[in-house]
Structure 1
Amino acid sequence: MAEVEREAMEYDVVIVGAGPAGLSAAIRLKQLDADLSVVVLEKGSEVGAHILSGAVLDPCGLDALIPDWKEKGAPVTVPVKEDNFYILGEAGQMRIPNFPMPPLMHNHGNYIVSMGNVCRWMAEQAEELGVEIFPGMACSEIVYGENGEVKGVVAGEFGKEPDGSHGPSYEPGMELHGKYVFLGEGVRGSLAKQVIAKYDLQAGKEPQKFGLGMKEIWEIDPAKHREGTVTHTMGWPLGSNAGGGSFIYHLDNNQVYVGFVVHLNYKNPHLFPYMEFQRFKHHPIVSELLKGGKRVAYGARAITEGGYQSMPKMVAPGVAMLGCSVGMVNVPRIKGNHNAMLSGKAAAEAAFAAIKDGRSADELSDYETEVRNGAIGADLKKVRNVKPFWSKYGLAASLALGGFDMWTNTFGFSLFGTQSHGKTDAAATEPASKHEPIDYPKPDGKLSFDRLTNVSFSMTNHEESQPPHLTLKDPDVPVRVDYSEYAGPSQRYCPAGVYEFVEDDNGKPKFVINFQNCVHCKTCDIKDPAQNIVWTTPQGGDGPNYPNM
């Protein structure tokens, strides 16, 4: 195939991803120097279309970036009024009192928000400052300079045939070059993954860990609605099968966010995270709340959970990674948006100083120093042992050890040092022969739903004539390894029903990828035991279209 010729556009800073990190960076750059040329490229059909988060927002990031956000009309209007923590059994629950919780666990001063809507508002603020924002522009390649530095990205390539050839309506896209490129793609971003590998940025760090977060928006009976109430649960239905828990957030307009997180380091390949979520809603504490209501939206997204010890080196020549591309979620707080915003602000300040000094395409080491030694590092360091304790010792021990460790970290020390994570989530999966299958009840269509029905509530769409964006390193591995040794876990860990094994004409298993269903959660790229599935970006505008997730 002939080499593609593309036009190029030059900017001071090119930002991939219009999430809280990327938009914060764009806003801060223009605050510092209105003459800087800044572009934000977003693969979703609009800003916010691919944003999925809990979310209870710690406003410290907004406070630092736009101190007058209230006056400017930010959609951050539902303060947390009540905090509840429960450990669930199959039929009952035990309330964990708030008073023994470390101060960092309290939600006083935080807000229940739609991060999709927050990002839409942030995009408006950025555009008012002169930032160029292009939604529907997937970044498919990194452009490298002569010395191996990151020079820019390729965006807006359309019209490929399923076999990868150029169709009659092929558009080559453009190269967007920057003195610096910021990657704010979110969890397991395809470009960030390449940069981490090329420059060996994970060397000397713990492996990154992940969870799968699934979320539904429900409209409930007004009599049951308690605006500003935040509830978190642990325990049933996961038990000893996996770590994780739930969240139930009462926002305005009689709506409730119902979410469920499963840590992806589970051993049993028969585990079905989506069905664990559906089963959870039949617990009396949840079913009574939702009875008479209706589910209006669904989505799923991987979550970075490795924390302080798993953050890779964040910079390489010409490039910096922001927010969840690095992994800045405070796991016990289930919060990362504030750190994403602070990371974008810090990267912008480092790039502004470098450009002012006449530099370009080098490593923004000041950004990395600020993240590790500033507010983000302090936030993550206090909780760095909670996830390893949970993984090694289970829920009960982690509550005791993790809680004690968070309390001592409040005073600046830990008796436990920094615990290691051990294996990757893919390597944690054990052969099916070591585990019993799990029998899940059939969804009732009222509280619980089958996957494909729920995926229709994510408004997901992919142009079918393009190459599948879910690729295999070796097409024989799914049947030869995953199906034979692990009972085909891709059929279960995907929350959108993308993967299935069917019988071919000879009665043998055949692996099928229904990429049209993909909600871009990236779980397959993370959990596949053979690490054979590679998530790449589809053409721009494809994927979910979340309204107010």
Structure 2
Amino acid sequence: MANEAEVREAMEYDVVIVGAGPSGLSAAIRLKQLAQAAGTEVSVAVLEKGSEVGAHILSGAVIDPKGISELFPDWKAMGAPLETPVTADRWLILGPQGSLQLPTFAMPPLTHNHGTYIASLGNVCRWLAEQAEALGVEVYPGMAASEAVFDETGALKGVVAGVFGIQKDGSHGPDYQPGIELHGKYVFVGEGVRGSLSKQLRAKFSLGEGADPEKYGIGLKELWQVPDEVFQPGLVQHAAGWPLDDQTGGGGFLYHFGDHYVSVGYVVHLNYKNPWLSPFDEFQRYKTHPDIAKYLKGGKRIAYGARAISEGGLQSVPRLYFPGGVLLGDSAGFVNVPRIKGSHNAMKSGMMAAEAAYAALQAGRQRDDLVEYEQAYQTSWVRKDLNLVRNAKPILSKFGTALGGVLSMIDMWCTTLLGGFSFLGTMHHEKNDADSTGLAKDYKPIVYPKPDGVLSFDKLSSVFLSNTNHDENQPAHLKLRDPAVPVQINLPKYGEPARLYCPAGVYEVLYDDKGENPKFQINFQNCVHCKTCDIKDPSQNIDWTTPQGGDGPNYPNM
């Protein structure tokens, strides 16, 4: 909660939106469209913690145009950057050297990518921001919403943004700025996966009550530029199997688009048990497989990034509304895991929230429960999209990749053909990803091959390509609830997995010259804001918070 003693300027809006991603920008645009159509006014502000819109956006991305088509039916004529239609769609099961291609006809129709587009989601968001500003939306990049502000009734009143100049020791530096409070009659929270405000609001308003535990994966991605001889514009290739074992969920993607770009990436489900596993190094191994390496031959790696992915699906969606605000997009968990898509659902969620808020504003309401948004979701194609695949993740978790993959496809065929009915009913997620972590003594440490500098690389050279930057004089935005836990608990029990699950080399365990006296070190300057530490730490001892605005990665074309 904002410090009552801090004197801050306040700005008043009808709607304040936290996050300039697909959901937040779609909400802002729809609010302005509704006001324009009715000849009324509605004031909307969008806050973005990245240095520019799109700087912190990372996705595959194969985009279902269903969402953008509702927002802008003439998006093609308007020049939306969905420039590469999918022309080939492959699913592979990888072994150490060979592969098996699954026949497309055997795959449930919802997994097909016909009619979708390969694009940079960051560039799509940049384009959406241009449309929003043209409609009169105020978009503020470099403004991290660091605190929630509540009114005297306990309803969300707004947020604090733009705090700068706090020194490492917590004192105010010479360039200190206390930030401003942005107040809204309604506040939309669309921070993306595991945002610090949405985490706080979920707890304060018990939004997860009655829902399954939240589930996540970590997605790692590189952008390559490749020569003509290996470039196949419109090719979409997904793969499961090697290098992960059968009990560790995940898989890879490879998309050809744009100016000889290849997006290559890897997802590891964060309910993995082996604490010695490194998602980053599994990704580097994946690229050396012949069916992946052949598309990178002669190419140049030009960007790298990582982010957490919401994987809980229908069962983990929380209550979407609370006094004064709502959760949008990935903050609510609207990713369709088997389809490996979520931006279309995120955009639709923003539009539904906007429609509910606009009607409430016209009725003279403010800072109450936007129940109408939840009601719209319950009857929307977003919920239907999630309902058809609701058992896929629990099946994979229970039965492993091989058997679970077959069973989940059968289940998705059933839900598709039988109007959502499944003979399994609705399966559930049993525990969160942190609790899934096994003990170090029960698993053999994994020895990963050294990077060759051609297909595989180390973490630090990869972080360099994320263009991440943090002012070293500010307090670390990665907070330990108990500084003793990493060395006294996590190291002896789990081998301190933070040094392995972090894809950016943020966490290290250092020893003295005798190999004794371990010390836990946080290199927060390396952070790419993936939030994995907040999710996977087995002691739940790490809280990811926002650094000062503009810090973090600066992703180009990601």
**Do the two structures share a fold, i.e. TM-score over 0.5?**
yes
1:438 CA displacement: 0.8
Question: Match for 1:320 among 309, 323, 326?
Answer: 326
Q: Deviations over 1:11-70 (max 9, x none)?
A: 000000000000000000000014100000000000000000010000000011111111
Question: Match for 1:89 among 86, 95, 104?
Answer: 95
2:270 and 2:525 map into 1 onto residues whose CA distance is: 23
1:57 and 1:175 map into 2 onto residues whose CA distance is: 35
1:194 CA displacement: 0.2
Match of 2:271?
265
Whether 2:517 is the aligned partner of 1:508: answer yes
Match of 1:441?
449
Maintained 8 Å contact 1:186/1:325: yes
Q: How does 1:479-498 map to 2 (within 5 A)?
A: 479-498=487-506
1:426 and 1:390 map into 2 onto residues whose CA distance is: 18
Q: Deviations over 1:409-448 (max 9, x none)?
A: 1121111111011010000001101111111100001100
Match of 1:542?
551
1:240 CA displacement: 2.5
Amino acid at match of 1:284: P
**1:24 counterpart SS class:** helix
1:217 and 1:14 map into 2 onto residues whose CA distance is: 33
1:2 CA displacement: 9.0
2:70 and 2:53 map into 1 onto residues whose CA distance is: 22
Match of 1:417?
425
Match of 1:468?
476
2:329 and 2:178 map into 1 onto residues whose CA distance is: 29
**1:70 counterpart SS class:** helix
Maintained 8 Å contact 1:241/1:271: no
Maintained 8 Å contact 1:241/1:268: no
**1:540 counterpart SS class:** coil
1:66 and 1:288 map into 2 onto residues whose CA distance is: 38
Amino acid at match of 2:501: Y
Question: Match for 2:84 among 64, 67, 78?
Answer: 78
2:292 and 2:339 map into 1 onto residues whose CA distance is: 21
Maintained 8 Å contact 2:108/2:413: yes
**1:164 counterpart SS class:** coil
1:3 CA displacement: 2.3
Q: How does 1:112-191 map to 2 (within 5 A)?
A: 112-191=118-197
Q: Deviations over 1:252-299 (max 9, x none)?
A: 211100010000000010001100000111111111221211100000
Whether 2:434 is the aligned partner of 1:426: answer yes
Maintained 8 Å contact 2:248/2:401: no
Match of 2:244?
238
Match of 1:67?
73
Whether 2:463 is the aligned partner of 1:455: answer yes
1:408 CA displacement: 1.2
2:155 and 2:512 map into 1 onto residues whose CA distance is: 47
Q: How does 1:349-428 map to 2 (within 5 A)?
A: 349-410=355-416, 411-412=418-419, 413-428=421-436
Kindly tell me: are residues 102 and 96 of structure 1, through their superposed partners in 2, closer, same or farther at Cα, counting changes over 3 Å? same
Maintained 8 Å contact 2:89/2:113: yes
2:170 and 2:355 map into 1 onto residues whose CA distance is: 40
Maintained 8 Å contact 1:231/1:248: yes
Match of 1:517?
526
Whether 2:291 is the aligned partner of 1:285: answer yes
Match of 2:540?
531
1:134 and 1:221 map into 2 onto residues whose CA distance is: 38
Kindly tell me: are residues 486 and 172 of structure 1, through their superposed partners in 2, closer, same or farther at Cα, counting changes over 3 Å? same
Kindly tell me the number of residue pairs found equivalent between the two proteins: 549
1:198 and 1:252 map into 2 onto residues whose CA distance is: 44
Maintained 8 Å contact 1:314/1:368: yes
Match of 1:252?
258
1:446 and 1:396 map into 2 onto residues whose CA distance is: 31
1:372 CA displacement: 2.5
Amino acid at match of 2:236: V
1:218 and 1:427 map into 2 onto residues whose CA distance is: 36
1:371 CA displacement: 1.5
Match of 1:23?
25
- Alignment RMSD: 1.0
2:534 and 2:523 map into 1 onto residues whose CA distance is: 15
Amino acid at match of 1:447: L
1:505 CA displacement: 7.4
1:405 CA displacement: 1.1
1:214 CA displacement: 0.2
Maintained 8 Å contact 2:246/2:402: no
Amino acid at match of 1:242: T
1:546 CA displacement: 0.3
**2:295 counterpart SS class:** helix
Q: Deviations over 1:438-471 (max 9, x none)?
A: 1110000110000000000000000000110000
Match of 1:341?
347
Maintained 8 Å contact 1:498/1:514: yes
Question: Match for 1:55 among 61, 64, 72?
Answer: 61
Match of 1:7?
9
Match of 2:485?
477
2:465 and 2:378 map into 1 onto residues whose CA distance is: 39
**2:413 counterpart SS class:** helix
Match of 2:47?
41
1:147 CA displacement: 0.4
1:102 and 1:262 map into 2 onto residues whose CA distance is: 22
1:503 and 1:131 map into 2 onto residues whose CA distance is: 52
1:167 CA displacement: 1.4
2:346 and 2:531 map into 1 onto residues whose CA distance is: 19
Maintained 8 Å contact 2:247/2:400: no
Amino acid at match of 2:49: K
1:477 and 1:372 map into 2 onto residues whose CA distance is: 42
Maintained 8 Å contact 1:186/1:323: yes
Amino acid at match of 1:462: H
1:12 and 1:252 map into 2 onto residues whose CA distance is: 39
Q: How does 1:90-105 map to 2 (within 5 A)?
A: 90-105=96-111
Whether 2:205 is the aligned partner of 1:208: answer no
1:250 CA displacement: 0.4
TM-score after normalising by structure 2: 0.97
Question: Post-superposition, which runs of at least 4 consecutive aligned residues in structure 1 deviate over 4 A?
Answer: none
Amino acid at match of 1:286: I
1:364 and 1:408 map into 2 onto residues whose CA distance is: 34
2:210 and 2:261 map into 1 onto residues whose CA distance is: 45
Identity %: 62
Maintained 8 Å contact 1:461/1:516: yes
**1:245 counterpart SS class:** strand
Amino acid at match of 1:495: P
2:82 and 2:150 map into 1 onto residues whose CA distance is: 40
1:546 and 1:254 map into 2 onto residues whose CA distance is: 18
Maintained 8 Å contact 2:230/2:297: no
Maintained 8 Å contact 2:83/2:117: yes
2:492 and 2:246 map into 1 onto residues whose CA distance is: 25
Maintained 8 Å contact 1:54/1:259: yes
Maintained 8 Å contact 2:92/2:100: yes
The gaps in structure 2 that reach 5 residues or longer are none
1:504 CA displacement: 4.5
